[in-house]
A and B are shown apart, each in its own frame.
Chain A
């Protein structure tokens, strides 16, 4: 190799390296801004798998409507004929409060079943009744054990369940109508 071409190579190497790094960082930051990349996201291994077994009680009759007191279990979720959106929430969770108006819009298109995670039943009841509940069914997971079986790391967290009980989609942050349109609606097409 001649001296000049070696010099050119040595000059180009750091420039190319720095550009590649810069591009990589730009991609990451861009993705973090538009939601395409979340470094803290936990990829649930349950995607595509059957739902875990669980049975959860509803809200106490003293604070809730009659249809909110029954709770639900895995076999009820499996025996549905349309996809169901399962949403873990809590009255003490700010992102859940922010998520509610969006959930009420989404509830017009798909039944949402809610699980109150580590929440006092009376707080959960007051929370969903305050502006109208988006939930078709409601259950409470007071000690958070069922949530662990679902691989939930925090609230809000949502799962799309196919008829028969397979997990089609999972999201570990707040659900919005925009996200619903972009990611869930295409998955619903085969079931319409």
Chain B
């Protein structure tokens, strides 16, 4: 049983690692300097492949993604900063190319939604909690009702 479990763990780990593998088509695409290659991969992972749209250019095997990967590597090699490379991309393709869009009027709702959801959840919970703690009105008859009931039963008897 224990052996099976460890095999299962190894498999799960293997699959999750395979999922993280990048789509760089051939080693010749990679930069010889591992530090620069790492930087290029980090930048590429933040850029949307405009053909597949839900993949980064590092993950996608679309020809345009391959071209953009090459552009990123050329610019990393020529000593451009991450910010300059991002600017180069957004100048051509707009902020849509950034998988993580910058905070602005149009993206404000997107960014504050988690906080908003958490706050409204806490608010709802607090309201419910307070609701539960307020004593429910007693179901016992009031003094007036008791008197009326007594009068009615007396009437019936006579």
B-contacting residues of A (Cβ < 8 Å)?
Answer: 40, 42-46, 118, 143-145, 148-151, 153-154
Contact = CB atoms under 8 A, between A and B. Distances in A.
Nearest to B49: A153
Contact of A42 (B68, B71, B94): B94
With a 10 A CB-CB cut-off, give which of A42, A118, A143, A154 has the most chain B CB atoms.
Answer: A42
A45 B94 contact: yes
Closest 8 CB pairs of A and B: A153-B50, A45-B94, A151-B92, A151-B93, A144-B67, A42-B50, A43-B94, A42-B96
Interface string B89-124: 011111010000000000000000000000000000
A151 B92 CA distance: 5
A154 B68 CA distance: 13
A148 B71 contact: yes
Contacts of B64: 144, 148, 153-154
Interface residues of B, number: 14
A57 to B, nearest CB: 19
Contacts of A118: 63
B51 interface: yes
12 contacts: A43-B94, A44-B93, A45-B92, A143-B67, A144-B63, A144-B64, A145-B67, A148-B67, A148-B92, A153-B51, A153-B64, A154-B51
